[in-house]
Amino acid sequence: MFGRKTKNQNLNFVQIEILPSRKTKVVALAGNPNTGKSTIFNRLTGLKQHTGNWPGKTVSRAEGEFILNDEKFLLIDLPGTYSLLSTSEDEEIARDFILFGNPDATVIVCDASALERNLNLAFQIMQITNRCLLCINLIDEAKRKGIEIDKDVLEKELGIPVIFTNARSGEGIDELKEKIYAIANRIIKPNPRKIHLRKEIQEKVDKLKPLIEKAFPGIYSSEWIALRLLEGDKKIRAAVENGNLLEMINKGLENGNGELK
């Protein structure tokens, strides 16, 4: 698992060697409302958590920590949303954090009994970051309703790891932590399925991408940002033009000693 690059026969992502990264890994927890996301958060962090508000917002923010293999992870519980198209303050917060907060891993929590509806948000996140995984929660309720989910097929189609959990009982939580660790440390590099654009749109996106990447070096989601700009998304344009945005996000990740995690 920690060796050279190898293709997984069932998946579209590759396993690679650990790369150096920041001291504390940052993990975003995203998902629709009523998917059990808060229970997942509590299972992962236990009592090592605290709440407050997002900088400059009235929306509550929860964050907590867990340790795996002697490495500390900071888990940020994003507001529950159905979309990242920024029609509400909750969606704007979730979108901006995934876009500009540069999380080392993003966990997308879905309800096993409403998977088709929940995958709308999953596909949007997959266009923004390749460091993501799908956590299919409430698997016990799906079984009671006679719903069966083929994990291998779903992983192959999506190109990202899939974990089944029942957060109330703790089922699947250890595996979820292991996958978070692997993605955050680049042991697993997911290859999310992308949406193919029409030629004329792709040409315009390709002209914008270098400008975005110059403004935000190393950003993975330049294509997604370019699409939103072409669609006339005023909030995305304001976020890109706001020179204080990255500073605000970094301040939100400060620990008690004033050091960036």
Distance CA 179, CA 105 (A): 9
Instruction: Look at 16-25, 196-205, 222-231 and tell me which has the smallest mean pLDDT.
Output: 16-25
**pLDDT confidence band for 233 (50 / 70 / 90):** confident
Q: For residue range 119-156, what is the model confidence (pLDDT) as tens digits?
A: 999 999 999 999 999 999 999 999 999 999 999 999 99
- Which residues are within 8 A (CB) of 90 and not within 5 positions of it... i.e. 6 or more apart? 59, 79, 80, 81
Q: Is the pLDDT of residue 256 over 70?
A: no
- Which of 39, 63, 38 shows the shortest CA–CA distance to 49? 63
- Looking at residue 10, what is its pLDDT? 38
Q: For residue range 181-217, what is the model confidence (pLDDT) as tens digits?
A: 999 999 999 999 988 889 999 999 998 888 888 877 7
- Looking at residue 52, what is its pLDDT? 87
Distances (CA, A) of 227 to 36, 208, 213, 217: 31, 9, 14, 18
Q: For residue range 36-85, what is the model confidence (pLDDT) as tens digits?
A: 999 999 999 998 888 888 887 888 889 999 999 999 999 999 999 999 88
Provide the 8-state DSSP code for 113.
G
- Looking at residue 7, what is its pLDDT? 39
Mean pLDDT value across the chain: 83
pTM exceeds 0.95: no
**Do the beta carbons of residue 191 and residue 12 sit within 8 Å?**
yes
Mean pLDDT of 237-250: 57
Q: Look-up: residue for tokens 């998977």?
A: 115
Q: Is the pLDDT of residue 247 over 80?
A: no
**pLDDT confidence band for 86 (50 / 70 / 90):** low
Please give the residue that has the higher pLDDT: either 191 or 250: 191
Three-state secondary structure string covering 187-230:
CEECCCCCCCCCHHHHHHHHHHHHHHHHHCCCCCCHHHHHHHHH
Distance CA 128, CA 219 (A): 9
Please give the residue that has the higher pLDDT: either 231 or 154: 154
